[in-house]
Amino acid sequence: MKIIEFAGIGPGPFAGMVLADLGADVIGVDRPGGAGPFDLPVLRRGRRSIAVDLKSEAGREVILDLVASADALIEPYRPGVMERLGLGPDAVLARNPRLVYARMTGWGQDGPQSPYAGHDLTYTATSGILSSFVRDPHDGSMPRPVLPGPYLGDVAGGALLLVAGLLAALHSAAATGTGQVIDAAIMDGASYLSTFTHALRLGGMWGGTPGNNILDTGAPFYEVYECADGRHLAVGALEPQFYDELLRLLAEHAGLDLGPDDPRHRLNRLDQRRWPEAKALWEDFFRTRTRDEWCAFLERSDACVAPVLSLEEAPTHPHLGARAAYLPVGGEHGPELPVPAPRFSATPTQTRPSPARGAHTDELLAEVGYHPARIATLRSTSVVA
């Protein structure tokens, strides 16, 4: 598959990176000076790059010649920008009716917010999903939502759902010979991700104030605890059998006996009114040992306990090491980064280095039939770089 990706920041480049890691020929249409401080080299890996002045008529023709043989296009601009450049869906699909034209925006192509700027924070806030990420301070003060990084909006709701939609549309185009336009809005994606929370709410398992529900650290058996060394332990003993295994291991290795005869044995699971009391018990208890001392007997079990690792620690974890989950990118001495997921038995993914902007300009123009003299003219007039 050949995919034309217009340079941007955040979810667009992440989607292009995923497709390149999966083996697509992703051609990055770059600006000579880059797309800004968040135009991150790691996310640009695996592409071929051409630098084009999109505001020139000759530059527009270059793009139309590129898309004529492409399977898909990804553009990350506000609504109307591509139309003003003469590269909107009507113009592009007229040149290549089989093309899948994927539009990555925050608010979508229409609606009262669509002309305005935004970021992951504003999209997840409007979608309702941000309100779920709250910890109750239990001191009478008002809880405040905490953004979990760019993962829910930009990455999951934006980039990954765009990839899913693009792959589905490519399948349809292969069967019908006709492309289509994908309106991938981060706010839509973030709203869609909240379906799981809506399901819990409708099932009667999510109704309290944020931070007091079963999966948002309200329950003592699904919480993060501070240890003696100031590091943290994630306890996810959600189902009864996993909770029983946690209690068994704590009694066997740490002397905390909450057996069936102890009145506190089931309060953690059944009586939500006593969850704060139970949590206070766990908080005091887990502070008696270091994180790694707890992990020594809890981690490799069905107690569902794990260390909270830093980004620097994660690559050295025994499980991640055994699965080679981090490998150097861009050569033996490149930075260690997570390997692409998922894993394939017959067509394994392979990361490729990030190109310099415009590194493949001449190569790509030659592929669509440009004579060297024409390429030289485009360079001398700064249409390409």
pLDDT in tens, 339-382: 999 999 999 998 888 999 999 999 999 999 999 999 999 999 99
- What is the pLDDT, as a whole number, of residue 136? 67
* pLDDT band of 108, cuts 50, 70, 90: very high
37-42 contact pairs (CB < 8 A, 24+): 38/9, 38/10, 39/7, 39/8, 39/9, 39/13, 40/9, 40/13, 41/354, 42/17, 42/329, 42/335, 42/337, 42/354
Residues 101 and 122: their CA atoms lie apart, in Å, by: 25
Range with the poorest average pLDDT among 73-77, 208-212, 278-282: 208-212
- What is the pLDDT, as a whole number, of residue 246? 93
Is 154 noted as a catalytic residue in this protein?
Answer: yes
Looking at per-residue pLDDT, the higher value among 263 and 52 belongs to 52
- What is the pLDDT, as a whole number, of residue 263? 55
Q: Which one of the listed residues 25, 119, 183, 317 is annotated catalytic?
A: 119
Please give the average per-residue pLDDT across 87-94, as a whole number.
98
Residues 59 and 51: their CA atoms lie apart, in Å, by: 10
pLDDT 10s digits, 294-325: 999 999 999 999 999 999 999 999 999 999 99
Pick from 62, 9, 61, 11: nearest CA to 38: 9
- 137 phi/psi in degrees, rounded to 5: -70, -15
- What is the pLDDT, as a whole number, of residue 262? 61
Please give the average per-residue pLDDT across 260-284, as a whole number.
73
- What is the pLDDT, as a whole number, of residue 207? 78
Pick from 142, 143, 164, 146: nearest CA to 155: 164
* pLDDT band of 327, cuts 50, 70, 90: confident
Residues 210 and 376: their CA atoms lie apart, in Å, by: 61
Question: Tokens representing 158?
Answer: 């934006």
> Out of 3.40.50.10540, 3.30.70.20, 3.40.50.620, 1.10.260.40, which CATH number does the structure's domain 2-193+355-380 have?
3.40.50.10540
Please give the average per-residue pLDDT across 335-339, as a whole number.
88
- The per-residue pLDDT of the chain, averaged, comes to 91
pLDDT 10s digits, 230-270: 999 999 999 989 998 998 999 899 887 766 666 555 555 76
Fold agreement (2-193+355-380, 222-308) = no
- What is the pLDDT, as a whole number, of residue 288? 95
222-308 has which CATH code?
A: 3.30.1540.10
Q: Which one of the listed residues 30, 39, 136, 154 is annotated catalytic?
A: 154
* pLDDT band of 209, cuts 50, 70, 90: confident
Range with the poorest average pLDDT among 79-83, 162-166, 178-182, 279-283: 279-283
pLDDT 10s digits, 120-140: 999 999 998 888 887 766 677
pLDDT exceeds cutoff 80 at 271: no
Question: Tokens representing 132?
Answer: 């779920």
Please give the average per-residue pLDDT across 62-73, as a whole number.
98
- According to the 3-state scheme, what is the secondary structure of the chain? CEEEEECCCCHHHHHHHHHHHCCCEEEEEECCCCCCCCCCHHHHCCCEEEEECCCCHHHHHHHHHHHCCCCEEEECCCCCHHHHCCCCHHHHHHHCCCCEEEEEECCCCCCCCCCCCCCHHHHHHHHCHHHHCECCCCCCCCCCECCCCCHHHHHHHHHHHHHHHHHHHHHHHHHHCCCEEEEEEHHHHHHHHCHHHHHHHHCCCCCCCCCCCCCCCCCCCEEEEECCCCCEEEEECCCHHHHHHHHHHHHHHHCCCCCCCCCCCCHHHHCHHHHHHHHHHHHHHHCCCCHHHHHHHHCCCCCCEEECCCCCCHHHCHHHHHCCCEEECCCCCCCEEECCCCCCCCCCCCCCCCCCCCCCHHHHHHHCCCCHHHHHHHHHCCCEC
* pLDDT band of 329, cuts 50, 70, 90: confident
Residues 232 and 290: their CA atoms lie apart, in Å, by: 9
pLDDT exceeds cutoff 60 at 99: yes
Residues 96 and 69: their CA atoms lie apart, in Å, by: 8
The residues pairing with 25 across neighbouring beta strands, listed in sequence order, are 2
Please give the average per-residue pLDDT across 73-95, as a whole number.
97
Domain boundaries, the chain: 2-193+355-380, 222-308
- What is the pLDDT, as a whole number, of residue 52? 96
